[in-house]
Amino acid sequence: MLYYYHFQGDPKRQPPGLNVRAKDGSSLLVHTPPEGIGPWFSGTRVSWHRSQLEEIGKVGADSALVVWRPSRDSQVWSVPGLAAMVQALKELRSLRREYPLISAYIDLNLPEDQKLDLNTEAGKALLYTFIQEFFQLVPPDLRFRVPLPNTPPQDAAAVVVLGNANTANGRANGLTADIKRKFLQEFGHPLVVAGTQEWVERGAELDAVVPLDAKNASETGTAGLFTTAVVSPNSPQAAENASGFKPRNAGRSMIERWNSLYKSPPDWVIINSWNGYHDGTEVAPSRQHGDREQNLVMAALAALNREGDFGARLLSLEAPKYMRPRTVNRVQMRIRNTGTRTWIRGGAALRYIWRKNGQPIDASGQLAVQRDVQPRRTETLSIGVAAVNRTAEPLPEGEYELAFELVPSPGANPIPLASLPVQVKSEGMDEGAYLAGSSTPCIMGSGKTYSSELRIRNGSAQSWPKGLWYVAYRWAKNGTPIGGEADVSKIPALVDLEPGGVAAVEASVAASGSDGHPLPPSALNQNTAYTLLWDVITPDGKRL
């Protein structure tokens, strides 16, 4: 679902009036949000994002396709706005509310002096930088990821959509392969690169074609790994009105479009848009149309995904590829109820089954769902997977499949969720350390100290006794670490962490340098932004 945040209704924030009010005070919006226009209507406010994103989650959308403006003159709002968005998602997750995961739409309507020249290596590198800067600000556990053919589910890919290529010069042959290679090397998991039809015409090899148009998007893309369809509340057949936008025909156009998709559902449905109040494409509630389109989308997504009384779909997964015999390894899943019946607390359960050569072996376990999960709602489950058989003997070393299924109700047929390839071995297992989640605030006051909980997976073959391993952080400015080894803050981890396990570590983070002086506030109009770099220091002094 296309998600905009280039709005600034707060006159005290920069740039005042962005896409909301003209200099004479008149509204720039085609449609008006139900709450009206005021300081609260601001893409740099955490509270605004929190309400928007929770509603997207309740509608049943899996991902917010965030419109990212990488131009230099947009950084004054795009960077703090994305930080506010991530903070809102962390808060929703902490409160166990509904929320979507994040994918990126790179808006390439750049100023004339910043246009991409794909004929040069510098131009190609700049396009990757646009993608890199976005994902550096979005933690791995909040990224929307899709499984790839013939690839382990643990290696699902993040998603980026390249916007209109008409503002770029040159051909795009080989461009996406280079972007994917760099992304995998830097972020540790694959990237799916989608884009508009113009990129195909320039020679780009896209994984999906997304035929987005700001005013009218009711098209289908069939090239690449994933088929797509774009749905808009506006009628594709009607003539534009005096304002240059197409009417909605009281919702009939959207109903007809959804009905056409039920016959042959695509892999992706992109809704244009959630909150495009500036161009009249929003399906979010407005004073002009009420909540009609929001309810239509909610019903349509439920019908598109409905699987009878009981159904489930895996939205995200965090799991190891290697396990040591006789260890308990934490696997976390986020699952959506796609059926019509509620999963009852204590009655529904997540189950795992070990398989060897496609056949179940005498090794399994399960976790009861701890709260009722209504249709269209999601639940995050963290289950400990033991690399032992039913008599607590260690699994022999070798290659296995770890199958997960949801039992929605006692006596109901289990619903398959995922089958993961896992290698059980005692030696040579070293995935290092993995940050499975963090509550670190995305917006900090200069010189202030904040509490943070880090969820860290031990992917090594060694045990980490409490007090003998550390988490360490240091600040980076514009991607470059500040200072040297003396500027690293070390925090002892007061918890034992076995191989494959996940532990919560409490840490205090100060927005200050090692000398205690507050970090200067970000000056985005001068291209100044901070990131926090985390490491694990093992008992033998190895930095991961």
139 vs 441: CA distance, rounded Å: 12
494 vs 142: CA distance, rounded Å: 27
Query: Does the residue 75 lie in any domain?
Result: yes
Query: Does the residue 407 lie in any domain?
Result: yes
Given 241, 275, 305, which residue is the final one in a domain?
305
Of 101, 169, 161, 175, residue with least CA distance to 131: 161
* CATH number, domain containing residue 404: 2.60.40.10
* 369 and 513 belong to one structural domain: no
381 vs 412: CA distance, rounded Å: 20
Given 305, 329, 353, which residue is the final one in a domain?
305
Count of other CB atoms within 10 angstroms of residue 112: 6
Q: What are phi and psi of 340, to 5 degrees?
A: -105, -5
Confidence (pLDDT) at 205: 95
Average pLDDT on 304-326 reads: 90
496 vs 464: CA distance, rounded Å: 6
* 53 and 201 belong to one structural domain: yes
How many CA atoms are closer than 13 Å to the CA of 314, on its beta-carbon side? 23
Query: Does the residue 126 lie in any domain?
Result: yes
How many angstroms separate the Cα of 257 from the Cα of each of 51, 211, 230, 248, 267?
28, 15, 9, 12, 16
Query: Does the residue 167 lie in any domain?
Result: yes
Confidence (pLDDT) at 190: 96
* 293 and 161 belong to one structural domain: yes
When mean pLDDT is compared across 59-63, 166-170, 203-207, 415-419, the lowest value belongs to 166-170
Confidence (pLDDT) at 9: 94
Confidence (pLDDT) at 217: 44
Confidence (pLDDT) at 115: 83
* 296 and 384 belong to one structural domain: no
* 276 and 349 belong to one structural domain: no
Confidence (pLDDT) at 298: 94
* 115 and 56 belong to one structural domain: yes
pLDDT band at residue 60 under the 50/70/90 scheme = very high
Given 396, 424, 452, which residue is the final one in a domain?
424
* 293 and 368 belong to one structural domain: no
* 100 and 248 belong to one structural domain: yes
Please list, in sequence order, all residues whose beta carbon lies within 8 angstroms of the beta carbon of residue 88, skipping any fewer than 6 positions away.
46, 47, 49, 50, 53
135 vs 66: CA distance, rounded Å: 11
Query: Does the residue 543 lie in any domain?
Result: no
Q: Strand, coil or helix: what is 85?
A: helix
Q: What is the pTM of this model?
A: 0.90
Q: Tokens 């002094």 — which residue?
A: 541
* 88 and 235 belong to one structural domain: yes
Beta strands in 322-397 (DSSP E): 322-323, 328-337, 349-356, 359-368, 378-386
The residue segments making up the domain with residue 530 are 433-537
Query: Does the residue 145 lie in any domain?
Result: yes
* CATH number, domain containing residue 215: 3.20.20.80
Q: Strand, coil or helix: what is 337?
A: strand
Where does residue 467 fall: left (phi above 0), alpha (psi -120 to 50 degrees), or beta otherwise?
A: left
3-state SS, one letter per residue, for 195-225: ECHHHHHCCCCCCEECCCCCCCCCCEECCEC
* 472 and 532 belong to one structural domain: yes
One-letter amino acid of 270: I
* CATH number, domain containing residue 504: 2.60.40
Tell me the pairing of strands 480-481 and 470-477. Answer: antiparallel
* 145 and 279 belong to one structural domain: yes
Angle at 241 between CA 236 and CA 247, to 5 degrees: 45
- pLDDT per residue as tens digits for the range 515-543: 778 888 876 555 567 888 888 888 888 88
Q: What is the DSSP letter of 518?
A: B
Query: Does the residue 395 lie in any domain?
Result: yes
State the DSSP H helix or E strand holding residue 102, giving kind and residue range, or none if neither: strand 101-106
* 420 and 445 belong to one structural domain: no
pLDDT band at residue 125 under the 50/70/90 scheme = very high
Query: Does the residue 542 lie in any domain?
Result: no
How many domains are there within the chain? Answer: 3
145 vs 159: CA distance, rounded Å: 6
- For the record, the structure tokens of 415 come out as 């619903």
Bridge partners for 354 per DSSP: 402
